[in-house]
Structure 1
Amino acid sequence: MSSGPGAPSRPGEPRVLVRDRRVTWGLAFLPGGDALLTERESAEILRVTPRGEVDELGRIPGVVARGEGGLLGVAVSPTFLHDQYVYVYLTSASDNRIARFRHIGGVGKLETLVTGIPKGGNHNGGRLAFGPDRMLYASTGEAGQEEHSQDRESLGGKILRMTPDGRPAPGNPFGTLVWSYGHRNVQGLAWDGKGRMYATEFGQNRFDEVNRIEKGRNYGWPVVEGAGDDPKYTDPLVTWPTAEASPSGLAYTPGNLWAAALRGERLWQIPLENGRAGRPIAHFRNRFGRIRAVVPSPDGRSLWLTTDNGTADGIVVVPLR
Structure 2
Amino acid sequence: MKILIIGRGIVGSSLYYMLKDLGHSVIVVESGFRKFYPTLIHSLLLKGKDIELAIESKKFYEKYKIPSIKYPSYTIGKIDKKIIDDWMSYGFNVEEKYINWLNSYAIVGKNTDSLVAIKKLIDKVPYIDGVAKIKNSVVEVDGKTVNADIIILTAGAWNSYITDFKLPLKSYYCWAWVTSNTNSLLDKVFIYDYELGYYSRPLFGLGMKLNIVGDGDTIVSDPFTKRFGDLSPVKKATERVGELRPLFRGEGYCEGTPDMKPVYGRITDKVYIAGGLNGYGAEVGPGIAKLLVDFITKGTEEKEYIIDRFSNVSDFELGKEPHEL
Q: TM-score, normalised by structure 2?
A: 0.28
Task: Report which of the two has the higher share of strand.
Answer: 1
Greater percentage in helix: 2
Larger radius of gyration, structure 1 or 2? 2
TM-score by length of 1: 0.28
Structure number with the bigger relative contact order (C-alpha 8 A, sep ≥ 6) is: 2
